[in-house]
Amino acid sequence: MEVNVELRKAKKDEQMLKRRNVGSFPVDASSPYQDQNQNAQSSQHWSVEDIISGVNSQSLDQQLQATQAARDYSLLTDISNTNSKLLSREKHPPIDLIVEAGLISQLVRFLALSECPPIQFEAAWALTNIASGTTDQTRAVVEAGAIPAFVCLVASPHPHVSEQAIWALGNIAGEYVLEGDGSTYRDKVIKHGAVGPLLVLLSVPNLSVYATSYLRNVTWTLSNLCRNKNPAPPLAAVQHMLPGLLRLLHHDDPEALADACWAVSYLTDGPNERIEVVTRAGLVPRLTQLLASTDIAVLPPLILTHLSIHLPQTPTLRAVGNIVTGTDEQTQGVLNAGALAFFPGLLTHRRSGIQKEAAWTLSNITAGKDSQIQEVIGAGLVPLLINVLQQGDFKTQKEAVWAITNYTSGGSVQQVAYLVQSGVLSPLLNLLSAKDSKTVLVVMDAILNIFMMNDSAPNRQAADKLGETEKLCLMVEGCGGLDRIEALQTHENEMIYKAALNLIEKYFSGEVSGCLTQPLGGAVVKKTMHPLLPKQQLTVTPSKFKTTKALSVSETL
Amino acid sequence: TMELNDANLHTLTEYLQKTLSPDPLVRRPAEKFLESVEGNQNYPILLLTALEKSQDDVIRVCAAVTFKNYIKRNWRIVEDEPNKISDPDRTAVKANIVNLMLTSPEQIQKQLSDAISIIGREDFPQKWPDLLTEMVTRFQSGDFHIINGVLRTAHSLFKRYRHEFKSNELWMEIKLVLDTFAQPLTELFKATIDLCQTHATDINALKVLFSSLTLISKLFYSLNFQDLPEFFEDNMETWMTHFHNLLTLDNKLLQTEDEEEAGLLELLKSQICDNAALYAQKYDEEFQPYLPRFVTAIWNLLVTTGQEVKYDLLVSNAIQFLASVCERPHYKHLFEDQNTLTSICEKVIVPNMEFRSADEEAFEDNSEEYIIRDLEGSDIDTRRRAACDLVRGLCRFFEGPVTAIFSGYVNSMLTEYAKNPAANWKHKDSAIYLVTSLASKAQTQKHGITQANELVNLTEFFVSHILPDLRSPSVNEFPVLKADAVKYVMTFRSQLPKEQLLETVPLLVAHLRAESTVQHTYTAHALERLFTMRGPNNSTLFSATEIAPFTEQLLNNLFNALAIPGSSENEYIMKAIMRSFSLLQETIVPYIPTLIGQLTHKLLLVSKNPSKPHFNHYLFESLCLSIRITCKANPASVLSFEEALFPVFTEILQSDVQEFVPYVFQVMSLLLEIHTSSIPSSYMALFPHLLQPVLWERTGNIPPLVRLLQAYLEKGGTTIAGSAPDKIPGLLGVFQKLIASKANDHQGFYLLNSVVEHMPPESIGQYRKQIFILLFQRLQSSKTTKFIKSFLVFVNLYCVKYGAIALQEIFDDIQPKMFGMVLEKIVIPEVQKVSGQVEKKICAVGITKILTECPAMMDTEYTKLWPLVLQALIGLFELPEDDSIPDDEHFIDIEDTPGYQTAFSQLAFAGKKEHDPIGDAVSNPKILLAQSLHKLSTACPGRVPSMLSTSLNAEALQFLQGYLQAASVQLV
C-alpha cells in the first residue's frame, strides 16, 4: 500500500475530513427543540454522573435533558479552536468522559426512538460530535452500532433529524481506518445502505426545496463516501452516486458545488478504469465549465473567512487534472470539452496554488499524443507555460518543468523547435540551480530530449543536424546553461552527475564535427536512460505512474 | 574470537605503533596483520578499548583512524556476501561510540564522528533507534565541546537530505528526525545566542559558540531542504529573527587578521545567506513577510564588506541571494527606485567586478587554475560571477536604467584607461567584463525571442576597444587586456559579422606567440571555436580557401606554442591543431611529413606518463586526421604512416599503457582499412596477441578491439581461414565472452556478423551449431531488447549469406520445431524494434528469403506462420519503429549501456563508415519482396494468393498490392 509521508502542515486547500456541529449558526442547526427545556437547569452544570443517571432513567423527559447535557459536553471542547473548524487530533477530554461513561450505546439506542424526534436529534448531534473526534472516539460510535441507526434516520420526516444523521454519517465515513478485512468505515457506511436514501433525496424535481445547510451536508457526506483510495470506494456505489453528483454540479450554492467537485476529484484520483467510470457518466463537460468559476477576489470578505475551499475552482481543477492522468482518450475528452481555453486564466491566476495545479494538469496533457501537444500550442499556452517556468513560485516551476520535459519527450520535431523558439531554454536552464534534485534531473532530461530530437529528426541532412546541434549548444552556452551543467558534474547525487556528464560528453565535448556513425548492427537502445516520462500525479497525492506500453515479450523458448 | 584481555590489548597497541613507522618494511606487515585479524569477533571492541585506555595520544589517534577505516570497509552488509562484523560487535559499537566520541579530544572526535555517520548511513534510523535521543540528551550537558560533537555528527548524518530524491523512506526518516531533533535544536539555538551575549567579551568562548551557531545553521539548511517542515513553519519567527540579527552582527573580537581564510563570522553569515536563499526560492509564500528585512540586511552587509579573499564566499552567496530575489515579480518594488539601482550598481556590482591582485597573481603564476575558472565556468562561486548574475537578474525588469547606469561607468573607466594605460589598465578590464555581462543577457534574449539588444552595440565596442588591442604589434604588452580581447571575440563570435572575424584570424595567429600562457591558450581556443562555426548552408563558416593563406603561420605558431614552458601538454593548443587539420584538409598535405614527426615525438613523450587525457585525445585525433587526409590523396602513403607509427605503437602495447591502448587499436583499424590488397603480414603477426583474454578484461578495450578484429576479418577473412585456422576457436571464444554480457553483447554480434560475412563458409562449418546454442542459452538466461535486436539482425544476415534452407535446418537440427518457435516468439513479435537503416534492410531481405526460398514454410506445419511473418515484414516496412522498452529494462544500470564506458574514448576522426553487407545487390527490399513472391507463386500456382486473401489483414494487403504494382508483377 502506498503511504504518503508529508513534512508540511496539512494543506489549507484540502476539504474538511470531519466537522463538528458547534451550533455556531443557531437558527439553522442548533436545537429547534430548545424551548422544551428552557426552564430546566442549564445543562452546563450537569455532572457526568447526573447524565448517566438521567440517560438511564425511565422518564423520556429526563432522558432528553440528559442527552442535551451530553450534547453540551460534546460542544464544550476546544471552543477556542472553532474558528479553524478543522479538527486536529488533540484530546477532547469532555468527549472522553462521555465515552468512558459508556453513554454511547445508550445514545445510539435513542436514535431509534422515532416517537420522540427531539431525543433522536439530540443524540444524533452528540454522536456527530463524538464521531468528529479521534479515531478511537469514532470507533466507539461505530462499534455501538450507530451506522445502521443513522442510515435509517436519513429518511426521517424531520429534516433536522435527517440532517444530523447525514452529518454523523459523513464524520464516520471521513475516518480513514483500515479494518482487518481491508474495508474502511466509509465502506461500512456504504454497506449499510447509506447511498440509496441520500440519492433519493437528490432525486426531487427541484433541489431548492432543501435548506442550504441541509443540501450542503448531503453533499459533504457524499464527498466523504467518495474519498480515499487504497481501497477506493466500491465501484457499484460510485456508479450509484455519479448521477446525483452530476445534479449537484449544476446546483448554484457555491459550497455544495465545491464539495461535489471535491467528490469528483476523489473519484478521479485513481487508475484509468476509475476515471473511465466518471467520464462515462458524462461529468466532463460540466466540470470543464466550472473551471471558469469566479475568482475569489470578487467575493465579499465574509465568505473569504470560510476559506477558499468553498470555491469550486480548486477541486474542479484537481478533478480535471486527475482525469488527464488517464489514457489519451480520456485526456482527449477533457480537451474536446474546451478545457484549454481556461488555462490562460489559470496559469496567470493570482493564487500560486491554482497556477501549480494548472501546470501539473498541463504536464499530463503534454505527456500525451503529439496532437494533444498541438492543442496546447494552439491554445497559446506555450508562452504562458514558459512564463510560469520563469517566474512562478517554486512548486509551480516544478510542475512546469514536468510539462516541458513531457512535451520534449513526446512532441514532434516542429513542436520542440517551436518550444525552443519561444525561449524555453533560458528559464529551463536556470532551474538547473534549483534546490531540488528531482527537478534538476527532469530539467536535464528535457535538455537531452531537445538535443536528441534534433539528432533523430527525419528528412534532415546530417550536416543540418550538425548545424542545429551547434546552434543549440551555443544557445545553451549563451544563457549560462553550460556552466550550470558543468557545475553539476560535482553534484553529490549520482544520477545527477552522471546525467550532466552524459550531456557534456554527447554535446559539449567539442567532437561533433567528426563523422560519427553507428557501426553495423548498432543496436544501441536509444531511450534506455530516458524513457518517455510517465504521466504523474500531483505531488500532494501518492504518485501513480502511467505505465508505458508493456512489451509482449514471450516466455523464453 | 579475540579475548578482551590485556595481552591482546598490548599486542594490538604494538601493531598500531608499527603502522606509524616510516619504514615500509615495518609498517606494511603491521597493516597486513591488522587487516588479517579484523574479521575476528571483538576486534572493534578491542580497538575502541585501546582508543579509550591508552595513555599515548598518538596511539589513541591511530586507533581512531584505524577504527574509522575498519568501519568504512566492513560495516555495510552487502547482499549475498557474508556479514563481516558479528552482531554482538555491532551492538556493542553502537552502544559505546557516541559517548566515546563526545568525551574524546577534538582530533579523535572527528574520526569517530565520521565513523558514526558511516554506521548511521546503514543503520539509522531502524537499526539504531536510540541514536538521536542519545545525542539530543547531550544538548543539556552545557559543555559546548560535547554539543559541537553532537552537532557535527548530526550534520554528517543529515546532509544527504540536501541532494537525495524525495522518497517515502527518506521522508519518514526526516519526519522522525524532526520529531526528536527540531525542538531541542531550536532551544539550543536560542540558548547559544543568549550565551553569545553573556560572553560577548570572551574570545575563546565566542569561538566555540560561533562554531556551534554555524553548525546549527547548517543543520537548519539540511532539515529544511526537502520541504518546509511543519515545525519550522511554526517556529519561523524565532529562527528568522535570530538569523537576521546574526547577519547584522559585528564583533571586533571575531574579526580575523588572515586575508585568505574565512573567519567564523564569515562562515556563519554565508550559511545564513544560503538559508535565506533556500526559503526565498522554495518557500516564498511563507517567507514573504521576512524577505524585505533580509534584503536590506544582506545589502548592507555587501556594502560594508571588504575586498579580501576571505570574504569571497560570503559576498558571492550574498549577491546570489539578491540576484535570485530581484527577478521575482512581487519583489520588484524593493529594487525599482533609481537611487537603489544606482547604488546597487555602484556599491555592489562594480566593486565586485574589479580585477583584484589575487586574480593578477593567478593570471601570472597559476594560469591553469585561472583558465579553468575564467574560461570553463568553474567560477560559479566567485564574486565576478555572482555580480554578473545580479546584472542579469536586474535586467529582467530594469534593463533600460541598468544599462544606462553601466554605460556611464564603462565610459568613465575607458576614459581613465586612455589617460594612462600603463597605470589604469585594470579599468579597461572591468569595462570589458561589464559589457560582457550586460551583453550576455542580451544574447540569451536574442536566441530566445530573436530580439536583438539595442542597448549594447557589440560590433561598435569591438571596433573601438577590442580590435586595437588585437592589432597591437607588441604581443606581450598588457597580457590581461589581450586575453580579454581574445575572449571577447570568442564569446561574441556568433554576434560579430563574418568579415570582422575573418580579419581577426591573422591577428589571432600572431597572438599564439604570446609568452603568457593564458593569452596563447585563449588564442588557440578562440581559433578552434572560430573554425567550428557553421555558416548559413551548414558548412563551416570559414572555408579552407579562406584560411589557407595563413596555413604555414598557423601551424608553425601552434606547434611552437607547444614548446613554450608550461604549455607542453596544453589541450587547447592540441585541439586547435586538430581543428585546423580538419578545416584545412588537403591544404596541410605538404606539411604532414614534418608534422607527423613532431606528433609522433610528442606521443612517445606523453606515453611515458599520460596525465592530460584531453591533450592525448586530441593528439590521437590529429594523427587520425593526418592519415585520412594524406591517404585520401594517396592511399600508398599508408605505408609511411605505418613506418612512422608502429615503433611507438609497439612500445605502447608492450609496456601496456592502459590509457593509450584503445586509441592505438583505433588508429590501427583506420590504417588497416585503408589497405586495398590483402592483409599485410605485419598485421597477421599481431593477430594471435589480439585474442589474449587479458586484453578483453578491460572494458575500454572492447569496442576498439572488436572494430580492429572486424577490419582483420574484412581484409583477411580468407587469409585467416587459410593460414591460421587454429585461431578460429580463439576468435569465437571472444564472441562467446562478449555475448554473455548485457553490456557487450552487441559487440559480440558485430564480431559474429563479420565472421559470417567475410569468412569462407566451410571454415566455420563445424562451429555453427555451437554458436546458435550459445545464443539460445543467452536468450534463456537474460533476454533484453538490445540482445533481441542484435539477434534478429544476425539471424537474417545468416539467412542472406547461407540461404533460408540452411537457416531453417540449423535451427531444427538443434531441436525439432525450433525454427517455428523462433519465428513465432521472436521474429514476428520483435522485428518492429529493429533500428537502423542497414539493420532493417538486412532483416527485410532475410525475411523475404524465409518466405520465398524455404520449402518448409510452404509444406509443413510452419505454413500457418507464413502469413504472420509476411505481415510482420510489411509492418517493418510501413509502421513506425517500436522503441518502447519493457518496464524492467528502464533501470538497467547506466554502466551497462553502451556509450557510458568512460574508459573508452572514441576517436571521431578514426570513425568507420557505415557498412552495408548487402549493398547494391538489393536496392529496394520492397521490390525484392514483390519479385520473390512472384517467383514463389509461379512455382506453386494458386497457393500464394489464397494464403494472402485468407490470412493477411486488409491494410497490409493494400501495401503489398502497391509493391507488386511497383515491381510490375502479378501473383498467380
Question: Which pLDDT does position B382 carry in this prediction?
Answer: 80
Q: Number of Cβ pairs closer than 8 Å across A and B? A: 231
B479 prior amide bond cis, ω within 30 = no
Cα-based angle B641, B643, B649 (whole degrees, multiple of 5): 90
Q: Which three cell numbers stand for residue B780?
A: 534463456
Name which of A7, A391, A511 is nearest B226 (Cβ-Cβ). Answer: A7
Task: Enter the DSSP assignment of A512.
Answer: T
Query: Is the CB of residue A521 less than 8 Å away from at least one CB of chain B?
Result: yes
Task: Enter the DSSP assignment of A293.
Answer: P
Helix (H) or strand (E) holding B435: helix B421-449
Phi then psi for residue B571, to 5 deg, are -65, -30
Contact A554 B532 (CB under 8 A): no
Name which of B793, B829, B834 is nearest A554 (Cβ-Cβ). Answer: B829
Question: Which pLDDT does position A229 carry in this prediction?
Answer: 84
Name which of B284, B449, B783 is nearest A556 (Cβ-Cβ). Answer: B783
Question: Which pLDDT does position B922 carry in this prediction?
Answer: 87
Contact B166 A438 (CB under 8 A): yes
With beta carbons under 8 A apart, name residues in chain A contacting B707. 519
Exposed/middle/buried for residue B568 (C-beta within 10 Å: 0-12, 13-18, 19+):
middle
Q: Among all residues of chain A, which has the CA nearest to that of B905? A: A505
Contact B746 A471 (CB under 8 A): no
Exposed/middle/buried for residue B429 (C-beta within 10 Å: 0-12, 13-18, 19+):
buried
Q: Among all residues of chain B, which has the CA nearest to that of A383? A: B449
Closest Cα partner for B803 from B866, B855, B846? B846
- Report the gap between the CA of A416 and the closest CA in chain B (Å): 14
Contact A552 B829 (CB under 8 A): yes
Q: How far is CA B261 from CA B314, B675, B836, in A?
A: 12, 62, 58
Average pLDDT of the segment spanning A525-549: 30
Closest Cα partner for B795 from B785, B782, B804? B804
- Does residue A323 contact residue A331 with C-beta atoms inside 8 Å? yes
Q: What distance in Å separates the CA atoms of residue B847 and residue B831, rounded to the nearest whole number?
A: 10
Phi then psi for residue B534, to 5 deg, are -105, 140
- Does residue B757 contact residue B796 with C-beta atoms inside 8 Å? no
Query: Is the CB of residue A350 less than 8 Å away from at least one CB of chain B?
Result: no
How confident is the model over B575-594, as pLDDT tens digits?
999 999 999 999 999 999 99
With beta carbons under 8 A apart, name residues in chain A contacting B528. 510
Q: Which three cell numbers stand for residue B837?
A: 537503416
Mutate to test the interface with B, among A2, A3, A7, A532 (most CBs of B within 10 A): A7
- Does residue B910 contact residue B670 with C-beta atoms inside 8 Å? yes
* Alpha-helix runs per DSSP H in B609-680: 613-633, 638-654, 661-674
Contact B538 A466 (CB under 8 A): yes
A377 has a pLDDT exceeding 90 = yes
Question: Which pLDDT does position B376 carry in this prediction?
Answer: 63
A96 has a pLDDT exceeding 70 = yes
Question: Which pLDDT does position A549 carry in this prediction?
Answer: 21
Exposed/middle/buried for residue B794 (C-beta within 10 Å: 0-12, 13-18, 19+):
buried
Query: Is the CB of residue A548 less than 8 Å away from at least one CB of chain B?
Result: yes
Contacts (Cβ under 8 Å, ≥6 apart) of A257: A248, A249, A251, A290, A312
A533 has a pLDDT exceeding 50 = no
Name which of A6, A484, A521 is nearest B793 (Cβ-Cβ). Answer: A521
CB-based burial, B368-398: b 16+ in 10 Å, e otherwise? eebbebbbebbbbebbbbbbbbbbbbbbbbb
- Report the gap between the CA of B903 and the closest CA in chain A (Å): 13
Contact A474 B447 (CB under 8 A): yes
pLDDT band at A537 (very low <50, low <70, confident <90, very high): very low
Average pLDDT of the segment spanning A112-139: 91
B755 has a pLDDT exceeding 90 = yes
Q: What distance in Å separates the CA atoms of residue A198 and residue A244, rounded to the nearest whole number?
A: 9
B256 has a pLDDT exceeding 60 = yes
Contact A436 B282 (CB under 8 A): yes
With beta carbons under 8 A apart, name residues in chain B contacting A457. none
Average pLDDT of the segment spanning A99-127: 91
Q: Which DSSP string do the residues of B827-840 spell out, in sequence order?
A: IHHHGGG--SHHHH
- Report the gap between the CA of A286 and the closest CA in chain B (Å): 32
With beta carbons under 8 A apart, name residues in chain B contacting A425. 447-448
CB-based burial, B437-457: b 16+ in 10 Å, e otherwise? bbbbbbbbbbbbeeeebebbe
Phi then psi for residue A26, to 5 deg, are -55, -40
pLDDT band at B904 (very low <50, low <70, confident <90, very high): low
Average pLDDT of the segment spanning A289-318: 60
- Does residue B763 contact residue B747 with C-beta atoms inside 8 Å? no
Of the CA atoms within 13 Å of residue B554, those in its CB half-sphere come to 27
Contacts (Cβ under 8 Å, ≥6 apart) of B151: B212, B215, B216, B219
Contact B836 A522 (CB under 8 A): yes
Of the CA atoms within 13 Å of residue A394, those in its CB half-sphere come to 26
Name which of A426, A467, A484 is nearest B534 (Cβ-Cβ). Answer: A467
Closest Cα partner for A536 from A548, A526, A528? A548
- Report the gap between the CA of B201 and the closest CA in chain A (Å): 38
A38 has a pLDDT exceeding 50 = no
Average pLDDT of the segment spanning A309-323: 82
Write out A148-200 in H/E/C secondary structure.
HHHHHHHCCCCHHHHHHHHHHHHHHHHCCCCCCCCCCHHHHHHHCCCHHHHHH
Contacts (Cβ under 8 Å, ≥6 apart) of A447: A428, A429, A476, A481, A485, A503
Q: Which three cell numbers stand for residue B927?
A: 521490390
* Alpha-helix runs per DSSP H in A366-436: 370-378, 381-391, 394-410, 413-421, 425-430
Q: What ipTM did this prediction achieve? A: 0.79
Name which of B229, B533, B750 is nearest A519 (Cβ-Cβ). Answer: B750
Instruction: Find residue B534's DSSP bridge partners.
Output: B540
Q: How far is CA B135 from CA A221, B222, B665, in A?
A: 47, 17, 58
Question: Which pLDDT does position A255 carry in this prediction?
Answer: 87
Q: Which amino acid is at B657?
A: V
Q: Which amino acid is at B83?
A: N
Contact A557 B897 (CB under 8 A): no
Comparing B395-399, B520-524, B868-872, the range with the smallest average pLDDT is: B395-399
- Report the gap between the CA of B408 and the closest CA in chain A (Å): 25
Average pLDDT of the segment spanning B792-816: 94
Closest Cα partner for B272 from B302, B240, B303, B320? B240
Question: Which pLDDT does position A462 carry in this prediction?
Answer: 60
Q: What distance in Å separates the CA atoms of residue B222 and residue A125, rounded to the nearest whole number?
A: 47
Comparing A136-150, A229-243, A450-464, the range with the smallest average pLDDT is: A450-464
Mutate to test the interface with B, among A470, A473, A553 (most CBs of B within 10 A): A553
Contact A421 B450 (CB under 8 A): yes
Coil, strand or helix: which one is B534? strand
With beta carbons under 8 A apart, name residues in chain B contacting A421. 450
B125 prior amide bond cis, ω within 30 = yes
CA quadruple A112, A118, A123, A126: dihedral, nearest 10: 160
Coil, strand or helix: which one is B970? coil
Contact B175 A7 (CB under 8 A): yes
Q: How far is CA B721 from the centre of its chain?
A: 43
Question: Which pLDDT does position A294 carry in this prediction?
Answer: 54
Question: Which pLDDT does position A460 carry in this prediction?
Answer: 61
Mutate to test the interface with A, among B284, B382, B447 (most CBs of A within 10 A): B447
Q: What distance in Å separates the CA atoms of residue B124 and residue B156, rounded to the nearest whole number?
A: 12
Q: What distance in Å separates the CA atoms of residue B154 and residue B179, rounded to the nearest whole number?
A: 14
How confident is the model over B25-46, as pLDDT tens digits?
898 899 899 988 998 999 999 9
- Does residue A410 contact residue A460 with C-beta atoms inside 8 Å? no
Q: At what angle do helices A413-421 and A437-455 cross, to 10 degrees?
A: 120
Q: How far is CA B880 from CA B225, B333, B832, B835, B875, in A?
A: 44, 54, 8, 10, 8
With beta carbons under 8 A apart, name residues in chain B contacting A556. 779-780, 783
Question: Which pLDDT does position B647 carry in this prediction?
Answer: 93
Closest Cα partner for B469 from B517, B523, B416? B523
- Does residue B435 contact residue B453 with C-beta atoms inside 8 Å? no
Task: Enter the DSSP assignment of B466.
Answer: I
